[in-house]
Amino acid sequence: MLLITTTTILALVVQQNNACFVRSALRFVQKVIVRWDGFDPKYLQTLSVNDKNVEIKYWNSILGNHTSIKIRFDHEYELSNHWIPDLPLKVIIHGWLDSIIHEDGVSCIKTAYVNVGGYNVITVDWGGIAGFRNYMLPMLMTSKIGARLSKVLDNIANLGLVEPANIHLIGHSLGAHIAGVCGSLMKSGMIGRITGLDPAGPGFEFAKLQKKGLKKSDALFVDIIHTSGGSTGIYQSAGHVDFYPNGGGVPQPGCYEGIKLERIILLIGCSHSRAYMLYEDSVYHPDSLMGYKCNSWNDYLNNDCSSEEKTPMGHGASPLARGDFYLKTASSVPFSDLDTPREDL
């Protein structure tokens, strides 16, 4: 809680274009937190990645949003009776303190894909580990979970159900790094696409304690959406395409409700979560959130972009696009409707 509160205050008092200062301050804060927390590495030995604390489930539009098939490790062949042939696979992975059972979390993307149809869908619920409030433990376990997921997907690919190039991993926060590890360890072929939804920053971009995180070599195409860069999310470009809605930092539109303690504590969490909300919207409206290639947020605001290149953010992102893309969004759904009233930031 001390880390979250400190991060929130820093984000409020420092403008977005001073993100370097935010990151420098956070490095100091997080080093203090790590020493103060008294994390005991023995906890890692008591946790194993198994079918109980990492539940992997299969969904499709025929089964609907209320029926799933549990995927047991080394029993992936059981999917053959339910798999829809010739459809691509979407794999959705939540982040810290989340779970697929939380309908207001990243599972909204699963619901969207099942609703629109045309996809096989897998969800990775690692809530048995992500639920630990000591961030250090879930953060350090991401590499083990990613390794387990890569074996499951390799088994599915080896059954001939899907080609690795037709697999798309979508991970939020720590889930983005799990996706990266998974992609880097695939033996049956390179993953087609990984989308990182505000990949976690602590332990990866600053106060580096975990070397294995999402990078653009983990898939044929890696796209990243930044919504709390410099605080809970990474700020630097890390994919083939990096999207920076509203500058990519805190606060995102609709997340700022005034400087009151009970509100500012939730501000960063709101901005961090905005990444998967934007992505969900893009599933229903693939071309609605158009990003424009630019050198910086300030250049974008000043209409001083040297390129006219553009591509939708989220589901419809072009795998041929490269570079940093910027856009404005509204404060609520539909996020492309910029006529929606928004607070003065």
- Provide the annotated active-site residues: 173, 198, 272
Alpha helices, DSSP H only, in the chain? 2-13, 19-37, 42-46, 107-116, 127-130, 136-158, 174-185, 261-284, 297-301
Q: CA torsion angle for 136, 190, 215, 173 (degrees, to 10)? A: -40
Six token digits for residue 85: 């042939």
Q: Which is it for strands 120-125 and 167-172: parallel, antiparallel or unpaired?
A: unpaired
CA 227 vs. chain centroid, Å, equals 10
Report whether 156 contacts 74 (CB < 8 A). Answer: no
Six token digits for residue 76: 């992936």
CA 304 vs. chain centroid, Å, equals 29
The residue behind tokens 């290149």 is 309
Distance CA 120, CA 91 (A): 9
Distance CA 51, CA 198 (A): 27
What is the sign, positive or negative, of the torsion defined by CA atoms of 323, 290, 190, 181? positive
Distance CA 257, CA 264 (A): 8
Distance CA 69, CA 56 (A): 9
**b (16+ CB within 10 A) / e for 34-68:** beeeebeeeeeeebebeeebbbbbbbbbeeebeeb
Distance CA 191, CA 168 (A): 7
**b (16+ CB within 10 A) / e for 170-200:** bbbbbbbbbbbbbbbbbebeebbbbbbbbbb
